[in-house]
């Protein structure tokens, strides 16, 4: 895993493409640039982990290129609970709940992800309050979509009486 700059990612992804990601929809260019410049952009090889189960949930990660899988550990078994694609996040629930990660996120292919720490999230709130409201709404929508998917999977795989 190596860190790359916002300038590096902008040569690969124009601002309009970044804005198409669910987290960045409707944000101002200034806020997007602030997040990219102040966040940490990680370049991952296929199979490389972003975080491990038990790691501090002090940040969340947004896929800029490639994809990740989130694998939850439960009773000694591994369950791939979801795949995370362009513009989607992983780790927000652990960060907002002040929990450690309950599983690990792993790159499915060579990928680039943006790390948004809890400190950066707070600075976005301070410096871009309107955009912060939009980000919060975007994150809530993504959580709602994930709850729906997981709820459907639970029902489909439930034992019927």
pLDDT tens by residue, 116-152: 999 999 999 999 999 999 999 999 999 999 899 888 8
**Distance separating alpha carbons of residues 125 and 128, to the nearest angstrom:** 6
On whether residue 64 sits in a domain, the answer given is yes
On whether residue 72 sits in a domain, the answer given is yes
On whether residue 76 sits in a domain, the answer given is yes
Domain ranges, residue 152: 2-156
On whether residue 161 sits in a domain, the answer given is no
Beta strands in the chain (DSSP E): 2-4, 40-44, 49-51, 59-65, 68-74, 77-84, 89-90, 103-107, 111-117
Write out the two tokens for 153: 């999977």
**CATH code, domain with 40:** 2.60.120.10
Q: Parallel, antiparallel, or unpaired for β 2-4 and 111-117?
A: unpaired
On whether residue 99 sits in a domain, the answer given is yes
pLDDT at 159: 60
Length of the chain: 161
Residues of the chain scoring pLDDT < 70: 159-161
**How many domains is the chain built from?**
1
């Amino acid at each position: 895993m190596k860190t790359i700059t916002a300038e590096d990612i902008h040569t690969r992804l124009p601002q309009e493409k970044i804005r198409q990601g669910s987290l960045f929809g409707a944000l101002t260019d200034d806020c997007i640039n602030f997040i990219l410049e102040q966040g940490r952009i990680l370049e991952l090889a296929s199979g490389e982990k972003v975080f491990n189960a038990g790691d501090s949930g002090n940040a969340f990660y947004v896929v800029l290129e490639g994809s990740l899988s989130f694998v939850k550990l439960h009773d000694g078994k591994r369950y791939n609970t979801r795949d995370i694609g362009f513009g989607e996040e992983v780790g927000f629930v652990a960060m907002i709940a002040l929990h450690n990660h309950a599983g690990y996120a792993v790159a499915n292919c060579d990928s680039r992800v943006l790390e948004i720490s809890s400190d950066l999230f707070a600075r976005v709130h301070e410096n871009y309050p309107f955009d912060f409201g939009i980000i919060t709404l975007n994150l809530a929508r993504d959580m709602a979509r994930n709850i729906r998917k997981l709820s459907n999977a639970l029902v489909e795989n439930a034992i019927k009486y």
